[in-house]
A and B are shown apart, each in its own frame.
Chain A
Amino acid sequence: MAVIKKKSTFLAIFWRQFSRNRMALAGGMLVVFFTVIAILAPFLAPHDPRTPNIRNRMQPPSEEHLLGTDALGRDMLSRTIHGARISLLIAVLAVALSITIGILLGSLAGYYGGLFDSLLMRFVDLVLSFPTLYLLITLVALVGPSIFMLVLVMGGLGWTGTARIVRAEFLRLREQEFSEAARAIGAGNLRIMFRHLLPNAMAPIIVATTLGVPGVILGESALSFLGLGVLPPEMSWGTLVNAGLPFFRTAWWLPIFPGLAIFLCVLGFNFLGDGLRDALDPRLKR
């Protein structure tokens, strides 16, 4: 008789749950795929994305140019590959910023409660009651479009959801006896917050992070599409769609392929996020 030893470490349980979910696995693969492309862009791109070649302009997809060429004869595959870099870089930085702010403010509000908590949560309600895109457009129009400003504005607006989640987790966890036990042995507030409570709140934070990325990618694309985000000659997926759209009738490949990249990447992150949520946080299961 074979004895199957089932590992019961946290990671093992998580992996068993997660790997059962095919959509999540597919999503994870898409995310890995796009991440690798973004990191290795200069090595993967078959042509220089910035060198014009007027003689070759507006070529439909062919063997030489798999995704065709644009109005200046630049290789669309190379441009889309390099676009992944900027789009994902902005997404990762903005999400990192918003998660950091969200964790800090959410922990303080949940742990200390009181006036700070009330004020912060009302402010969160206020921010969430604005339509995000209009707010983004207004702010970016005020500070001027640049990659740095995009990260700052989207990161600075995106923390509210995380703050709410972290606060709710802290409210729950601080009533658990182990946080009282920590106080009883003389641990300080910071130690209790970041050594005891935060590690136990990581599951929803990881999920919020993963689900936050597609939001930023879409936001950045929308802004770039409107000419308020990444400006040429820098290229993100949004700018590529924007640049290609006027030629939609004559050269469909110009807006379609970067658009498809946005679509698949967002889809990948969403599936991955949903899968992580189901595996990490059984309470949120439908």
Chain B
Amino acid sequence: MSSEKILLEVRGLKKYFPVRAGILRRVVAQVKAVDGVDMYIKERETLGLVGESGCGKTTAGRSILRLLEPTAGEVLFRSKKLAEAGGEYMEVDVAAAPRKLLKSLRRDMQIIFQDPYSSLNPRMTVGAIVGEPLLVHGISQGREREERVRELLGSVGLKPDHMQRYPHEFSGGQRQRIGVARALALDPQLVVADEPVSALDVSIQAQVLNLLESLQEEFGLTYLFVAHDLSVVKHISDRVAVMYLGRIVELAETEALFSNPKHPYTEALMSAVPVPDPDYNVERILLAGDVPSPVNPPSGCYFHPRCRYRKEVCETDSPTYRDLGGEHFVTCHFADTLNLQPVRTI
């Protein structure tokens, strides 16, 4: 499905949140929510981003879109619209884009939110919500805009006469479709889907996932798909990145990651996936303790306090994020030698 052209490249992305205390509100510590993420997304592919709660996956997605100001790093994006005159792609660093450029970049990069309830303004009609991006960017007026909104609602499986209604008149799944229509209004290249189905009923999840897949076909979209549900990620992603404590521990093609995990954390995460087979006895790998605080991450490899394969070097040296070959990236000293168990079925 994906071509080999790289659409977005993230280099050394960091997002720290200051912890302030005292009357003077001095910065006493930093929450290192995203602590040096490198990855690229190819055109028209779906990159899944997984990890447990608090690992920084949502923060990473928002920093890429600059809904949060990144603390450091580059987000290189190859925009088609900005270069339309020349016919070529134009590469821009989203993280450093000045205000005006950032606004035009919004036309290329959009987001679908997790919560279909709080992500739609309750005081605006569906037509106003979906049409607002067009209004803000001065793309079309009056009748033309209305026509475009109808079209968008149609392509996400809603009726055009839903335009006059308010969000509270819709179900969760329908509301999520409204959010998708809004994201597509500007005809973006990249869509960050921030847990787009985790707030929905299981029966509705499949519908929305299928919608996202068919829209990807239809409009040539590239997805950064943030999720914690591995079965969903496996279903939709071409490649998957696993995050732990603000860093990517492993990134590989979906098949390779699930059948041949190279990082102990990935192995543990996989073993936690429920398998719909009562006779299947899997050895679950129970990680000891909690996720360490991102304010004060462990020394060396961030995962070492919970890793069952750890050796001395893990406590002192931070492993580098490297390519094992075949675009299988991993952050582990012993990735070449460990023999980890794959997931049998999902």
A interface residues with partner B (beta carbon < 8 Å): 8-10, 176-178, 180-188, 191, 196, 199-200
Contacts and interface: CB of A to CB of B under 8 A. Distances in A.
B247 interface: no
Interface of B: 62, 65, 67, 103, 106-107, 110-111, 113-115, 118-124, 132-133, 136-137, 166, 168-169, 179, 182, 185-186
Given A10-B166, A180-B113, A200-B123, A185 B133 contact: yes
B176 to A, nearest CB: 12
Contacts of A177: 113-115, 118-119
Contact of B67 (A10, A180, A196, A199): A180
Given A177-B115, A177-B119, A199-B123, A184 B65 contact: yes
Contact of B103 (A9, A186, A196): A186
Given A184-B106, A184-B111, A186-B107, A178 B119 contact: yes
Given A177-B115, A180-B113, A185 B121 contact: no
- Dominant SS among interface residues on chain A: helix
Contact of A185 (B114, B123, B136, B166): B136
Contacts of B107: 186
17 contacts: A9-B166, A176-B118, A176-B119, A177-B119, A178-B119, A180-B67, A180-B111, A180-B113, A181-B111, A182-B132, A184-B110, A185-B106, A185-B186, A188-B136, A196-B124, A200-B121, A200-B122
Contacts of A182: 121, 132
A185 B119 contact: no
Nearest to B102: A186
Nearest to B134: A185
A200 B122 CA distance: 8
A176, A178, A187 — most chain B CB neighbours (10 Å): A178
A185 B113 contact: no
B115 A187 contact: no
Given A10-B166, A177-B113, 6 more contacts: A180-B111, A181-B119, A184-B67, A188-B136, A196-B121, A200-B121
A123 B121 CA distance: 32
A196 to B, nearest CB: 5
Contacts of B106: 184-186
Contacts of B136: 185-188, 191
Q: By CB atoms of chain A within 10 A, which of B120, B123, B124, B179 has the most?
A: B123
Contact of B182 (A9, A185, A196): A185
Given A191-B136, A200-B122, A181 B166 contact: no
Nearest to A181: B119
Contact of B179 (A181, A187, A188, A191): A181
A71 B111 CA distance: 75
Nearest to B115: A177
Contacts of B182: 181, 185
Contacts of B65: 184
Nearest to B167: A178
Contacts of B132: 182, 185, 187
Given A184-B67, A184-B106, A178 B168 contact: no
A182 B103 CA distance: 12
Most buried by A among B113, B114, B132, B137: B132
Nearest to B169: A8
Contacts of B113: 177, 180-181
A79 B115 CA distance: 59
Contacts of A199: 121, 123-124
Contacts of B114: 177
A10 B122 CA distance: 10
A93 B132 CA distance: 35
Contacts of B137: 185-186
B281 to A, nearest CB: 41
Given A8-B169, A185-B182, A186-B137, A178 B120 contact: yes
Nearest to B194: A177
Nearest to A179: B121
A284 B115 CA distance: 25
